[in-house]
Structure formats: C-alpha cells, structure tokens
Amino acid sequence: MLDNSFIDRIVDLSEPRYKEMEDGLTYCNKKLNLIAPPQVETLGIKSLAGVVDYVKTTGDLKGKGLFLVVHSETSVYLYGSINNVKERDVFIRCDMDCSGFAFNVWRSLEEFIIGIQALFIDGANTYAKEELLKFLGTITTNEIQKYIDTGVSQKLHIETGVEGNTTTAEFTAPQGPVLLKPYRTFREIDQPESLFQLRIRHEHSRSPQFALYEADGEAWKLEAIQRIKQWLIEELKDQSPKVPVIG
C-alpha cells in the first residue's frame, strides 16, 4: 500500500493543470511560486540638480516609461513603468538632508541668533532678518529687569548704560505672527515664506530662552511641492521622451 507522502510526491512532480471556471477566473491544481526578476538598485541622490543630471545623461533609461513623483517637500522619486509582475522600478530616491532651523523648540539666545543668521533669508515681503537680529542683540549686551507677557505682546525692560549711569528702556518683541523665509526644502528652488510666532521664556535667575512656532498649519509644504514640481518641469522641458512630473 502506498503511503500518502509518496502519492503527494508524485502529484508534485506532475505538470500543473489549469481550468477556467464559470466565474471567469482561471484555477490551478497546485500552488506555484513566483521567481521574481531582479530589482533595479535604487540610486540615492541629495539634490534636485542630481536628479536632472541623471535623467539627461543616462541613456539606458529610454523606453522605461519614466516619471517623477514629488512625495514631499524633501523627497523626490524617479519611477519606471509597471513591469510584468505589477511592480515599478525605483531608479532614483532623492532625499534632502534635513538640517534646517529647529522650530517649536526652546533654545538659548546664542543658539537662536546663530540659527536666524545661518538658516533664514530675506524675502520681498518678509519681516527683515536684520530687524529681528537687532532686537535680539539688545538682549545679548544688556540685562533684563522685567519681562511682561500678555499673551498678545511680549515686552522686555532692559537696563542700558554703564554702572552708576543706567536707564531702563522698554523693548517690544515682534507682535503677532511674522512672515519669515527659512531654508526648509531643496536649495535649488525659491524657499516658501510662512508665518511664525516668536516666543520668549524668561524667569529670574535663569537665562532667557527663545522659540519660533509655525503659524500657518504647514501650508508651506504644499507650496514647496508645487515649486519643486515646476522647477523639475522647467529643467526637463527639452528632454525627449518627456518625463512627467507628479506633485
């Protein structure tokens, strides 16, 4: 008498049989395992210019059905068309190094000033970076005598002058959200402007701390995606075949 394992072995060695049923679907009498074709190795790039250079200079991509997708304000992928196993090759993954200003975080005055100097630029309608640094500079060289925060405005009473001949001056922090232009997306595009609220935290016997809070609901990210998309379209307008950009 043949045991079941021997019978199963004979079945495994037989050719698979297929049958189309009344529901319109095709069935097989045994399980088949897919031997997937090798995947293309994804190339990592850090700049939009690198993406454009790759598309323009790599000849082996012709006929691959290329298109670019702007996934976020810091990420762009180059895809190919769907292959016979219903997958897409990812030729390029472009992720910007996120080394911008730390928002919604309390920082010392020195760290705050360095961040403003290095990671912000002036725009046509923005609150002048020079004015913001000028206000912060009054704190670096003088002593805070009184700090008033009404929830609407923040005022600092600062002692000025030399010992024996001092006066107290009142300085008001920028009121309400101010329009600023920090570096937050790929450097090749014009950085989006958005609103920020400057906050100061000061307690006697402790050094003041400063923070910038985002006040636009992150709408700037949508604007950045559109700017990246338009930049790529412009740079690749003469490319043949055309490379669609989705964003």
Query: For 7-44, how does the pLDDT look when each residue is reduced to its tens digit (9 = 90+)?
Result: 566 556 677 777 778 887 887 777 766 666 677 789 99
130: nearest Cα among 116, 144, 143, 110: 116
My answer on whether 114 and 23 are in the same domain is no
My answer on whether 130 and 149 are in the same domain is yes
76: nearest Cα among 53, 45, 98: 45
139: nearest Cα among 116, 164, 165: 116
My answer on whether 121 and 189 are in the same domain is yes
4 inside domain: no
Tell me which amino acid residue 177 is: P
Q: Which two tokens stand for residue 121?
A: 């630029």
Structural domain span for residue 126 = 107-217
My answer on whether 30 and 61 are in the same domain is yes
223 inside domain: no
5 inside domain: no
Rounded to an integer, what distance in angstroms lies between the CA atom of residue 88 and that of residue 80?
A: 6
Tell me which amino acid residue 29 is: N
2 inside domain: no
Tell me the HSE value of 88 on the side-chain side, using a 13 A CA sphere: 14
- Cβ neighbour number for residue 91 with a 10 Å cutoff: 22
- CB distance 173 to 153 below 8 Å: yes
My answer on whether 112 and 195 are in the same domain is yes
Whole-Å CA distances, 119 to 96, 181, 184: 15, 9, 9
My answer on whether 118 and 28 are in the same domain is no
- What are φ and ψ of residue 157, in 5° steps? -100, 115
Rounded to an integer, what distance in angstroms lies between the CA atom of residue 175 and that of residue 161?
A: 26
Rounded to an integer, what distance in angstroms lies between the CA atom of residue 44 and that of residue 232?
A: 17
My answer on whether 112 and 189 are in the same domain is yes
Rounded to an integer, what distance in angstroms lies between the CA atom of residue 190 and that of residue 221?
A: 13
My answer on whether 83 and 152 are in the same domain is no
pLDDT digits (tens, 9 = 90+) for 173-222: 677 789 999 999 999 999 999 999 988 887 665 678 889 999 998 999 99
My answer on whether 138 and 190 are in the same domain is yes
59 inside domain: yes
My answer on whether 73 and 144 are in the same domain is no
Q: 232 falls in which pLDDT band (50, 70, 90)?
A: very high
87 inside domain: yes
16 inside domain: yes
My answer on whether 61 and 152 are in the same domain is no
My answer on whether 210 and 166 are in the same domain is yes
Burial class (CB in 10 A: 0-12, 13-18, 19+), 5: exposed
For the entire predicted model, the pTM comes to 0.77
Q: Which two tokens stand for residue 27?
A: 């069935």
Task: Report the domain count for the chain.
Answer: 2
Q: 51 falls in which pLDDT band (50, 70, 90)?
A: very high
Lowest mean pLDDT among 71-80, 116-125, 171-180: 171-180
66 inside domain: yes
